[in-house]
Amino acid sequence: MVADFPPRPLRDIAVRHVRQAGCPSYVAFATLDFEPSADGAAGYAFVNVLPDETLPWEYAAALDEGVRLELAESCAHLTVGVRVVVRAARVHEVDSNETAFRRAGRLAVQEALRRVSGGVSGGVSG
């Protein structure tokens, strides 16, 4: 089966999730690429090219989970064949957490879908 999403490489999907409403706060910054799978078939791969010092594994796992959750919800009507590559991330020493990176993953999928549908933005915040 040939995948429908993404139809072409979507580069530099920059997202940030910042919520400061007391303790805890939520801060996550990430830049992702969404690439069609190599053979055009359905499937999902998450690749983090950043060292653990830049993006700790637990935040990378939460980012991956957020992407997968949003793909399952927002792309249920599509055949997904995507390789998601983490190109950049920033972590706040105190206010970053798994919840923030999970939300950033969801925002990245929403932005990728916006770009596919013709909307172009310079990044998305949530």
Q: Distance from first CA to last CA of the chain, Å, rounded?
A: 34
Identify the helix (H) or strand (E) that includes residue 32. strand 26-36
Among residues 80, 78, 92, the alpha carbon closest in space to that of 25 is found at 92
Structure tokens at 98: 């798994």
Number of helices (H), then strands (E), in the chain: 2, 5
Q: What are phi and psi of 53, to 5 degrees?
A: -70, -30
Report pLDDT digits (tens) over 67-84.
Answer: 999 999 998 888 889 999
Q: What is the dihedral of CA 38, 39, 40, 46, to 10 degrees?
A: -40
Among residues 48, 52, 18, the alpha carbon closest in space to that of 32 is found at 48
User: Which parts of the chain register pLDDT below 50?
Assistant: none
